[in-house]
Structure 1
Amino acid sequence: MTLLSPKTSPLRCLTGALIAGTLGLLLYRLTGAIAYLFATHAVSAHHQLVYSLAVAVRTLVVGLCTLATGVFSIIALGLVALTLQLLWERWVQREQA
């Protein structure tokens, strides 16, 4: 018995998918709120360097939030697909037995 690799089950996969999906949804809403905040509040800088840095930071923040949203959403979809695969394998094994 190894402690680092517990047996994969459909319930564990669905639990992980629920957690990842919830995080993805929360990050999606956070990304929208941040993008809306940045769109409604213009950068008021008199120097070109300050303006460029502010735009770069805004782009970086929205991009990282969008990346995290995509990663968690893909993880959730992958875990749902793994759940379906495990259920399919169990069904095929019962049919063969």
Structure 2
Amino acid sequence: MADTPPPISTMPSPARCLIGALIAAAIAFGAYSLMNAIALSFASKPIHSTNITVVNITIAVRTLVVGIMALATGVTSLASLGLFGLGIQTLLGSLFGKSSDPSS
């Protein structure tokens, strides 16, 4: 006897979308705070070297670290906005009785 998986809902509920948006917004705020702390830490500690190669590599690494945190902030912010929009769309669809299920 093979176990059949439970049926998967095609559209998420508005509550799940809005909770996901809140979680993504919290992660985005944490990433932004971490990026800000890293940037301030880098700015307060100058590079102590006269070797131009060391200075260039240090600048590149600092830029990459702050850039990766900015990317994480942006991606999670956009995910939060998208989930919020999907929650509003599904809420309005359920209020007005319109199904956005493509199979119907």
Q: TM-score, normalised by structure 1?
A: 0.88
Please identify which structure carries the higher helix content: 1
- From 24, 31, 49, give the equivalent of 2:28: 24
Determine the structure 2 residue equivalent to 1:55: 59
Determine the structure 2 residue equivalent to 1:83: 87
The number of aligned residues is: 94
Residue by residue over 1:1-45, the C-alpha shift from the partner in whole angstroms, topping out at 9 and shown as x without a partner, is 855944511111111111111000000000100010111111111
Aligned pair in 2 of structure 1 residues 2, 11: CA closer, same or farther (>3 Å)? farther
DSSP-derived class of the 1:8 partner: coil
Of residues 2-11 and 51-60 in structure 1, the stretch that sits farther from structure 2 once superposed is: 2-11
Letter in 1 for 2:93: E
Q: Which ranges in structure 1 are unaligned for 5 or more consecutive residues?
A: none
Identity among equivalent positions (%) equals: 40
Separation in structure 2 between the aligned mates of residue 36 and residue 25 of structure 1, nearest angstrom: 16
Determine the structure 2 residue equivalent to 1:11: 15
Cα RMSD after superposing both structures: 1.9
